[in-house]
Amino acid sequence: MPDGSVPEPTSQVSTTTMPTLKDNETKLNTERSLQATEKDLKAISFTPSLDQKSMMDQIKTYINQSRSANSEGDVLRASNLAQKARLLCDELLKK
């Protein structure tokens, strides 16, 4: 590059800021899982024990954390938290 010249601007698009198709699909699947978990929680017809109430609180915490991670673009963390909520809810419903 000769002295005093300006480099040509690049037309590259940063892929770190653009969500990929897979990320969008993961976000949608995570939200569906969260909605199903919430529906199951609301359908509980028994009076929960203290331990079960604690589990329900933890499930709700995972749901909120998952939605927060999803909105921040951390789809992997959101998905993992949604899975934790789902598994804990399944365990709660077995009791």
Residue closest to 30 by CA, chosen among 2, 68, 56: 68
Q: pLDDT at position 7, please?
A: 59
Q: pLDDT at position 16, please?
A: 52
How confident is residue 21, by pLDDT bands cut at 50, 70 and 90? confident
What phi and psi, each to the nearest 5 degrees, are found at residue 56? Answer: -65, -40
- Taken in order of first residue, the domains within the chain and their CATH numbers are 27-94 (1.20.1270)
Residue closest to 87 by CA, chosen among 19, 36, 22: 36
- Please write the tens of the pLDDT for every residue from 35-68: 999 999 999 999 999 999 999 999 999 999 999 9
Share of the chain above pLDDT 70, in %: 80
Q: Which residues contact residue 44 at a Cβ distance below 8 angstroms, ignoring those fewer than 6 apart?
A: 56, 92, 93
pTM recorded for the entire structure: 0.78
Q: Whole-angstrom Cα distance, residue 58 to residue 40?
A: 14
